[in-house]
Structure 1
């Protein structure tokens, strides 16, 4: 049996009955289309029969050829699959995200529930066009968000990226042939996370002002680890002789509860520890079990970011005379990167220290801090050429 064929329904009872009803409706002024005489029939990759009717034979023949070609190339998709609602496809996509962290999962859920499903949930996935997505982005920019405030550029970009991932899932599951989430102009979050770079003296003043948390500030400012990673460092992960801190876990705040889990992007790494305060960290860790936290709250237990900001960090920023710079515990990563670059560290070292996925990401963020080394390259090439010229002019000697 052919994989795709055309069936003439001219003598089918159901077709004749449908035609009689159509003709009666037409006499009464109805303008609906006549029932399709030509039916294209085929079996999908799942082995189930499919069918689609057309009023004219050339239309049916064109569809037959198109379906045959898609079946042959493996690009076939069931026309009915595109009728699935966005909320169904979105839940499928979310359920399939098996490797994301708790914070990312929470963010995805929040974006789905507040900005994607309310707007697109009842739409058929195949009905969304490029211009529909463009209109939605304009709405996100001009209308208040869930909290009643204008959404920032970074939040809008996140909404778009989650929607794009849902549509990509629809492409992979062959519900649509192409995603409408491409080549859209997105707002630029230029000023939302402006980098702050402290000097050695400024960082030292801030650390001193933090009192008993001086070593934590120095660790954040010189090692470049994230707050969630620093608060999860255990005594057994500190190696003073090697001057390393092993980063393997972080704390995530999930609905007010701190949960310990793998570090961001699951990239375990060792970060360099300056000798100038490595011994002090060793003293801090002395007497603690390997699984005990290195930095703890005054009453014991893990540090909470909000409490640390309000009780320790923000007062220390004021005492150190650094108000107005927008410095936060997280932005001390930028200070660590800038000081390391100024010290001559190459991009791969910076990447490892910060836990970036690849060096390209590090360069995208900090390329402006790397000095212009073109003159160094030219000087090195000159040195090599002068050596070669000197050797060429040297007199030959007997072996």
Structure 2
């Protein structure tokens, strides 16, 4: 049973002294509330003494019941912990993120420093209410961001999610009982230009005009791997006889510094390699060490995305007659997905190939590309029903 009790401070010297000061201040015109006579005392889960004062006994009694119930149920939180500044909770949350990659960590840090902490940093974490967050979302939509331009829907959603994770940390650390970041209407992402699907002819034409990087374009367009993964493929992970490429690392570029790290979602995988250019990739890696990069910059070393876009990819797009489609090296994975789906690959295969966390994500992104197979289901049911009817007819003996 939790130990919570009420203390009457009427005869306490400190209380009488506080009352005298308050009365003098009141006579001088102060509107400050009088000191609380009734003190609620208890021991928290850490066995440290806690206390709150109240002006009226019924208020203190209500608090005793509330604290006792929370202590007995294990849902107790220190009332004073909610007074922590949001910037302190935000830093605690950021420090606790041990599994995120360099790019995600940099993104979180940037959103914290530019939008979350400037707005909420000095607020007590318990003071942030649902309506405050809703008003903030409207501000993000209508007011200029750090760059001077209004934020796009995707950036607003990411910013909101960072605050949401900070508040979730506040709940877990028992500073607040519930997060104000729930059930908010977020802007709709403008992703109409996100998916670009090239045909076989368009992909081959693009690869052809890319010159020495033809095989890289084919790998991106048929294997569905991310740019950061393709640029980190090492020769030893190219398995030509098995027609597989092992994807275990990727390059991240944070403020111009490249570093090898784990793949996104930590989804190490093997992707299928079309036989039609597998041997050519093998030739490309011939003479290199097992730990050497398969695709490299002209002077050696890892490829950098912006340099590749500006010097190779964008000119190739123009020469191939694909200008205006919004195609990028990364979006070639959409082409790989669409071609694989059209070839009959099921959702689980596509998920593994692309390195999605689960099949639900794959369906959310590419579900519209899977063929409508409702007629196939109906036809299969008809076959089964015809067999059942034929067996039933054969088992019935005609009456004489």
> TM class by shorter-chain length?
over 0.9
Q: Measure, in 1, the Cα distance between the counterparts of 2:345 and 2:206.
A: 24
The answer (yes or no) to whether the contact 1:154–1:192 under 8 Å persists in 2 is no
Cα deviation, residue 21, structure 1: 2.0
Q: Could you list the runs of 5+ residues in structure 2 that have no partner in the other structure?
A: none
Q: Measure, in 2, the Cα distance between the counterparts of 1:144 and 1:329.
A: 30
Cα deviation, residue 192, structure 1: 6.6
Q: Measure, in 2, the Cα distance between the counterparts of 1:386 and 1:329.
A: 51
Counterpart for residue 381 of structure 2: 381
Q: Deviations over 1:375-397 (max 9, x none)?
A: 1001111111212222333469x
DSSP 3-state at the match of 2:52: strand
Residues 222, 16 of structure 1: alpha-carbon distance in 2 compared, 3 angstrom cutoff: same
DSSP 3-state at the match of 1:42: strand
Residues 297, 2 of structure 1: alpha-carbon distance in 2 compared, 3 angstrom cutoff: closer
Counterpart for residue 326 of structure 2: 326
Counterpart for residue 155 of structure 1: 155
Q: Measure, in 1, the Cα distance between the counterparts of 2:283 and 2:311.
A: 24
Q: Measure, in 2, the Cα distance between the counterparts of 1:287 and 1:24.
A: 92
Q: How does 1:123-272 map to 2 (within 5 A)?
A: 123-191=123-191, 193-272=193-272
Paired residue total: 397
Cα deviation, residue 22, structure 1: 2.0
Q: Measure, in 1, the Cα distance between the counterparts of 2:233 and 2:93.
A: 33
Q: Measure, in 2, the Cα distance between the counterparts of 1:395 and 1:79.
A: 77
Please say if 1:8 is aligned against 2:4: no
* Bigger mean CA deviation after superposition, 256-265 or 189-198: 189-198
Q: Measure, in 2, the Cα distance between the counterparts of 1:85 and 1:321.
A: 56
Q: Measure, in 2, the Cα distance between the counterparts of 1:2 and 1:324.
A: 69
Please say if 1:62 is aligned against 2:62: yes
The answer (yes or no) to whether the contact 2:247–2:263 under 8 Å persists in 1 is yes
The answer (yes or no) to whether the contact 2:222–2:274 under 8 Å persists in 1 is yes
Counterpart for residue 367 of structure 1: 367
Q: Could you list the runs of 5+ residues in structure 1 that have no partner in the other structure?
A: none
Q: Deviations over 1:161-190 (max 9, x none)?
A: 001000000000001111111111111112
Counterpart for residue 95 of structure 1: 95
Cα deviation, residue 24, structure 1: 2.4
Counterpart for residue 300 of structure 2: 300
The answer (yes or no) to whether the contact 2:245–2:271 under 8 Å persists in 1 is yes
Q: Deviations over 1:275-322 (max 9, x none)?
A: 111111111112211111111111111111001000100000000000
Counterpart for residue 113 of structure 2: 113
Counterpart for residue 35 of structure 2: 35
TM-score, scaled to structure 1: 0.97
The answer (yes or no) to whether the contact 1:230–1:250 under 8 Å persists in 2 is yes
Q: Measure, in 2, the Cα distance between the counterparts of 1:102 and 1:11.
A: 61
DSSP 3-state at the match of 1:46: coil
Q: Deviations over 1:316-364 (max 9, x none)?
A: 0000000000000000011011111111110000000000000000000
Cα deviation, residue 60, structure 1: 0.5
Q: Measure, in 1, the Cα distance between the counterparts of 2:160 and 2:193.
A: 19
The answer (yes or no) to whether the contact 2:193–2:326 under 8 Å persists in 1 is no
Counterpart for residue 25 of structure 1: 25
Cα deviation, residue 371, structure 1: 1.2
DSSP 3-state at the match of 2:207: helix
Q: Measure, in 2, the Cα distance between the counterparts of 1:264 and 1:20.
A: 65
Cα deviation, residue 23, structure 1: 2.2
Q: Measure, in 2, the Cα distance between the counterparts of 1:98 and 1:231.
A: 25
DSSP 3-state at the match of 1:280: helix
TM-score, scaled to structure 2: 0.97
* Bigger mean CA deviation after superposition, 177-186 or 191-200: 191-200
Q: Measure, in 2, the Cα distance between the counterparts of 1:192 and 1:115.
A: 26
Q: Measure, in 1, the Cα distance between the counterparts of 2:371 and 2:316.
A: 32
DSSP 3-state at the match of 1:68: helix
The answer (yes or no) to whether the contact 2:154–2:190 under 8 Å persists in 1 is no
